[in-house]
Structure 1
Amino acid sequence: MKICNNLYFNFVMMLVCLISLSIVFQSCKRTSEKTSEKIIEKSLGNDAEVDIDDEKVVIKTDEGTFTTDATMNSWPKEAPGEVPEFKYGDVIGVTTQEVDEANNWVVILENVPANALQEYKEILESEGFKINFTTTIGTGGQLMAEKGKLAVMVMAGEGNATVTIGFNN
């Protein structure tokens, strides 16, 4: 009976310790986020408003809003419809910048095949984009394309790619 009570007591103590550690880690995480927010706000000036929530960061200033979201795993719906979706690989994060009513998007992908840059270039051309330059290095490279005020830049290599969409002034 004494052994049973000791096992029960040890189990309860272990459970209490695990719950306590969980609460402490959650509290530390939130404290860390708040500290990071204050550091960023001070570095940008006290007019900046910073919100960090797990894998999403939102920074608001007088000039605009900057959002980076590592939980967003799809092509941004807000991106201009004239820009064909880059369907090669897996989206692992999206950054959006809203400045003076002009938005910019950066889409980060992984598991991108080596032929993706060339195939996307052909898709852009078929959609009426003018390719301003293309650089190929090994299995990667970069390209810049424009259509009206829209600009698209793609950098790819080593199984990763970054697609930047913005507007020219």
Structure 2
Amino acid sequence: MKLMRVGPPGRERPCVMGPDGRVLELSSLTTDIDGAFLEGGGVERVRSALADGLLSEAGPYERVGAPVARPGKIVCIGLNYSDHAEETGAPSPPEPVVFMKAPNTLVGPDDEVLVPRRSVKTDYEVELAVVLGRTARYLSSPEQAADVIAGYAIGRQCQRIGQA
């Protein structure tokens, strides 16, 4: 099951790609794929509706949008493996390097990624994005962490390394 948001920027509608590859409408279940949907059992409702054959095929669309609408925050881990640290010329950090990205930097897979005008070197990366379905604080086990994961996505990022 692949949750999707399709349509023009700012007017995406929620859909799901079923096991047969068809894209199906979720508007009967939710207005969007957002924090309230994820935290409120939305993924389970979609699974159930798919199994029961209750979803209709989506009409044509030209764009796939960001996977989640209005994320509360985007937390990133930098230099998260030794080869990456080595290729940047940085020493491997003793602890993960944590940084934030603005929620409006989340875009669809074919959307334009804006690069600052004076950028002289831009670093493009593809990452595993983990989508949390509810608040996670002070978790004491891998099992507790797994319980808050709503899904996964491919994340690509680009960041300015230097400027003119």
TM-score (norm 1): 0.22
The answer to which structure, 1 or 2, has the higher relative contact order (CA under 8 A, 6+ apart) is 2
Higher strand share: 1
TM-score normalized with structure 2 length: 0.23
Find the structure with the greater CA-based Rg: 1
